[in-house]
Amino acid sequence: MTDEAPKQHERDAERAVDPMATGRDPKAELRLGASGGEAQETRDAERGHVFELENVTVRYAGVPAVRDISFKVYENEITALIGPSGCGKSTLLRCLNRMNDLVATATVEGRVIYHDQDLYAGDIDPVQVRKLIGMVFQKPNPFPKSIYDNIAYGPRVLGMTGDMDQIVERALRQAALWDEAKDRLKSNAYGMSGGQQQRLCIARALATGPDVILMDEPCSALDPISTGKIEDLMLELRKNYSIVIVTHNMQQAARVSDMTAFFTVELDEDLKHRTGKVVEYDETEKIFTNPGDERTEAYVTGKVG
């Protein structure tokens, strides 16, 4: 969060390199060697986690959308949720910042532990949850206000004090949007391109000072160049934030994520309802190169999808 300016240069340098190459940093290569067996367990003990899901089942009007999900989301890593349509990835993601509270019929069973607190404990304020766990949506959804007011909305409703100009500038710099936006802060956000709008939405989420960013297919409405910029940005943000991303784009999951959860859909006995479950959760390299389950392999190699 500090000294943005030098980082900006780093980022620019990084972006000059082939975006495919930036997806694989040396750290990730090291991790590949460490995956599996005892080494995995030792490393699990070392790295902190932001979320620990224990047998999470989400139901809409009693019908389970995802069932029995258990895995850990690690700090300062990008965790990708992949799988076919309707497998409950987005449902699970919305569970992580209690956005499902807004759906009257949704119920969550099991436990979602955020650091060491149960997100769904009775005394947890969902508003506070969403301050710390930001979210970026599938379609860029800036408010029909100025760029400045878009960023300032979160800090204002949360009653954050401090120099608003500074908060806005810092958020825009973190989202690599400052150079493009600094001369038009007062103009309507809808005047920006789709990719810029999505980065504005990321900046907006960063402005409230979260430590996790949830992204629900953030690039599905964007062209490849804008997508590349968002991916670069995610890799940069990973230094300070933990990111959970739902994506339909498997190359994207492979390029940016550290861990990947593969979801699948199962029909219940009377073949009426579709319920998602996690088939495999592991290092991204392992999921894409040496998956443990044949369903994962079929999906990541494009045999089914």
Partner 1 sequence: MSATEASAVSTSAPRRLETARPRYGELLIQGLLAVCALVSVATTVGIVIALLEPTIEFFGDVSLKEFFTTKEWSPLFSPPSFGVLPLVTATLTITFWALLVCIPFGLGAAIYLSEYAQPRTRSVLKPVLEVLAGIPTVVYGFFALTFVTPILQDIWFVGEKPQVFNAISAGLVMGIMILPTVASLAEDAMAAVPQDLRAGAFALGGTKFQVSTRVVVPAALSGIVAGFVLGISRAIGETMIVLIAAGGTPNLSFNPSEAMQTMTAFIAAAGIGDQPTGSVGYKTIFAVGSTLFVMTLVMNMVSIRLVRKYREVYE
Which residues here bind partner 1, judged by CB under 8 A?
97, 99, 102, 104, 127-128, 130-131, 134-135, 137, 139, 141-145, 153-154, 156-158, 188, 190, 201, 204-205, 208
The residue among 61 and 304 lying less far from partner 1, judged by its C-beta, is 61
8 Å CB contact between 256 and 23: yes
Q: Report the DSSP pairing between strands 259-267 and 133-136.
A: unpaired
The residue among 99 and 278 lying less far from partner 1, judged by its C-beta, is 99
The residue among 246 and 279 lying less far from partner 1, judged by its C-beta, is 246
Nearest distance, CB of residue 131 and partner 1, angstroms: 4
Nearest distance, CB of residue 143 and partner 1, angstroms: 6
Nearest distance, CB of residue 172 and partner 1, angstroms: 16
Nearest distance, CB of residue 85 and partner 1, angstroms: 19
Q: How far apart are CA 88 and CA 99, in angstroms?
A: 14
Nearest distance, CB of residue 39 and partner 1, angstroms: 37
The residue among 202 and 254 lying less far from partner 1, judged by its C-beta, is 202
Helices (H), the chain: 4-16, 19-22, 26-34, 37-46, 89-95, 126-132, 147-157, 164-174, 178-181, 194-206, 224-237, 250-256, 284-289, 294-300
- The set of residues, in sequence order, having a beta carbon less than 8 Å from that of 69 and lying 6+ positions away, is 53, 55, 56, 57, 92, 110, 277, 278
The residue among 20 and 127 lying less far from partner 1, judged by its C-beta, is 127
